[in-house]
Amino acid sequence: MSTGLRAQKKQETRQNISHVATRLFIDRGFDVVTIAEVAEAARVAKMTVTNHFARKEDLVFDVRTEFVVWPAELVRQRPSDTAFEAIRDGFFAALDERSALLGFAEVPFVRMIRDSERLVSALTEMHLDRERELAGALLDRDPRGGILPRAAAAHLTSVLRLLFDDVWDLTFAGAADLVPKVRRSARKAFDQLEPALAEV
């Protein structure tokens, strides 16, 4: 088997395990379902599950890495723009796509996470890791260091987190006009930040 086919097979196995696990967690609750039950339902060995997912929470947040690095990547991809512009514009582009990176998900998925303290804690950790990753990207732009890059990262990722929570709250409430509501909130939030961060 070629390297490309092997990598594709590995990714397909990973996705299948994650999808099977998520269905079980939604149906029965994250804290109740065991790794052994996930393995059985996915028709793989228990070790295969743990080889692909170091923690049980990772079965739910299989896009963790993409989630964490997203704002930093927006900044790195637009070196001639300010970080504020890159993240603001990237947010609205992702909003148009109803990206999962902004929190777009089905109600059962949101409920599953909110019903589990472990998953809520894991999501909080992901937001903090996102802040640290962005701070690193901003420090790369300004090698003088200091508190300003870290403060800017904290402000920008706080807005992203609040808007993520808005998406979930509106999803849970069954809002039909979810995207327009989030867009209005986002414009207000970014407009408020712009005077302080327009040069970052």
Two tokens, residue 183: 């867009």
- Measured from the Cβ of residue 94, the count of other Cβ atoms closer than 10 Å reads 17
Report how far residue 17's alpha carbon sits from residue 23's, in angstroms, rounded to the nearest whole number: 10
Q: What is the pLDDT of residue 145?
A: 75
Which residues, given as ranges, of the chain have pLDDT below 50?
none
| Residues 6+ positions from 78 with CB-CB distance below 8 Å | 85, 86
pTM of the predicted model as reported, rounded to 2 decimal places: 0.90
- Per CATH, the homologous superfamily of domain 3-59 is Homeodomain-like (1.10.10.60)
> What are the residue boundaries of the structural domains of the chain, listed by start?
3-59, 64-197
CB 95 within 8 A of CB 102: yes
In whole angstroms, give the CA distance from residue 195 to residue 135: 19
Q: Residue 1 has what pLDDT?
A: 56
At residue 146, the pLDDT reads 81
User: Length of the chain in residues, anyone?
Assistant: 200
